[in-house]
Structure 1
């Protein structure tokens, strides 16, 4: 064999040895092969191939009622069913969960619900001392934050708070500030945080296809959210054992035009309805939200929006009447206040019974010793 052939064979052997060494090093460093390599610090999907879910098309639904706007079956002065529970977050000073049952249940074969629901969870932290750099304050410093979960609306929301969420926080802070006895906690802070797990839509989903944005430009759903944020925050404050003048309840009322298909409805007749569902009304001309303390008969927050032309309490007036709309919102707040009182009483009874059981257990243990 020539010298060139020997040199070429030695070069090939060196390359094979280098390749085997590299492969051995890779296998020692990785617990799996290169094909099954995964990142243990992240949640990985299945290793096998998966198919994307295929949902039933709305066009295949035989029940055509799924494509029609849901009609209001409640009376004009009747509210939707409310579920309120306190003490749902053990790590917080006070907490509450609020759920508004949808007025129209999904009985059709469509995957799209006829109307949205409302789910809120509130946590209260404090009163807690402020930092040394904060100027002295003789009263309690209240801070309210309202945040939509990314999955709360039909269109996914960003993690950063937008203008609507800041607006809700300001209105909520104003509604609660008048009820809390702040001079009992000088140089202390109270943080109230509300997470909207499911938000109410501003209009029916069938109207959203022609709208510019899914969140809506009217903001009727925001007014419903604010009213119930006041209620759930008041329940969380009571759960935190913070002294207040009264429990603040939120109420909302709206001036709507009956649909043309309704019996006896005319285009000029408007009426005031309590707890309006924006998906049930095609034309909402104005709405009003109040934060109300029934024991003192005082309003801590008032937000009125829209055109009041032709509104009345019973639908018979033709002149503007802001008092009729405010009275409707106060009536809704009184109804919500009854649910709030029952939830706070139930929480207090559970706390008293738990304390009594603990004392009885301690006394029995001392007798045994």
Structure 2
């Protein structure tokens, strides 16, 4: 029975049509795939600020810059190469559990990750799908070993992250050209890395005792493109943008504690074999070395995280 009180949208996800005079029908004049202008070991610029939601116990906002194609001269939509990453996080608690809940000697952590309907080109539904649930499980794993839970018995804390703008899994020009792309959700790796960092900042803003602040980092093994369109040897890059790389071999995301030199969460996608990477040509020819590069990316995010927390502390101390 249909609901007559509202106009229901389509059951599946849809991509909004693109109308632009800069998109030519001729394949030779079509926009080119964006290329990575950063060095393989350079991260994107990150903006992080805490205390953005006064009604919550702690909150934070994280944004990664959206790089543009330097070779594109057309203004408007055709000049965009990739969407950036914009996340907002709120922390509610610690607060007592309901009286009907069983006794717990430590704090109960609950994580909730949700894409906004407009976060990606493919419109998201209002109910959480499997991708969002996986992000929540990995986020809980990364944060569980950070919070000192014994100090809040029979208490609970909720970490809620809303993805305002998510990383795309592929270049939007592939949809126009009808190119066949893999179904791997590479953009989810960068999203999870940002979720770990912004959640750690919000937890610190809430005043919850932790052993250290955890930062997320991601590294990927990609097939580079040489001059003339020739495929060069694979290489390992930090903070990859899926739309800038046509073929991603594997990616690794870590939640890293620099103070203790510990990894709280590790997730690897893809396969690294002799056909893809060789020890003579690529520095990250194994999963261990790929994880080490992800740790280096986490250290870069950790420096931004510490600087944001110091700035917030100085502002709070100035008000006293």
> What TM-score range do you get, normalising by the shorter chain?
0.7 to 0.9
Distance in 2 between residues matched to 1:315 and 1:119, nearest whole Å: 38
Checking the alignment, whether the CA contact within 8 Å between 1:93 and 1:126 is kept in structure 2 is yes
Distance in 2 between residues matched to 1:319 and 1:201, nearest whole Å: 24
Q: 1:350 to 1:318 in 2, by over 3 A?
A: closer
Moved over 4 A (4+): 310-315, 317-320
Quick check: 1:247 aligned with 2:191? Answer: no
Aligned to 2:255: 291
Higher relative contact order (CA 8 A, sep 6+): 2
Which of these residues, 219, 228, 232, is aligned with residue 185 of structure 2? 219
- For residue 322 of structure 1, report the CA deviation from its aligned partner: 1.1
- For residue 115 of structure 1, report the CA deviation from its aligned partner: 1.0
Aligned to 2:201: 235
Aligned to 2:149: 182
Quick check: 1:276 aligned with 2:240? Answer: yes
Distance in 1 between residues matched to 2:222 and 2:133, nearest whole Å: 27
TM-score by length of 2: 0.86
Quick check: 1:156 aligned with 2:120? Answer: no
Where structure 2 has 5 or more consecutive residues not aligned to the other structure, the ranges are: 1-5, 7-17
Correspondences of 1:41-120 after superposition (within 5 Å): 56-59=20-23, 67-104=31-68, 108-112=74-78, 113-120=80-87
Checking the alignment, whether the CA contact within 8 Å between 2:284 and 2:290 is kept in structure 1 is no
Which of these residues, 261, 275, 289, is aligned with residue 324 of structure 1? 289
Distance in 2 between residues matched to 1:203 and 1:83, nearest whole Å: 24
Where structure 1 has 5 or more consecutive residues not aligned to the other structure, the ranges are: 1-41, 43-53, 356-369
Checking the alignment, whether the CA contact within 8 Å between 1:270 and 1:315 is kept in structure 2 is no
Which of these residues, 143, 148, 151, is aligned with residue 110 of structure 2? 143
Distance in 2 between residues matched to 1:76 and 1:262, nearest whole Å: 20
- For residue 58 of structure 1, report the CA deviation from its aligned partner: 3.3
**Partner secondary structure for residue 42 of structure 2:** coil
Which of these residues, 249, 258, 283, is aligned with residue 224 of structure 2? 258
Aligned to 1:308: 272
TM-score by length of 1: 0.75
Higher helix share: 1
Checking the alignment, whether the CA contact within 8 Å between 1:66 and 1:108 is kept in structure 2 is no
Higher strand share: 2
Distance in 1 between residues matched to 2:190 and 2:284, nearest whole Å: 25
- For residue 57 of structure 1, report the CA deviation from its aligned partner: 2.6
Q: 1:319 to 1:330 in 2, by over 3 A?
A: closer
Which of these residues, 181, 197, 204, is aligned with residue 171 of structure 2? 204
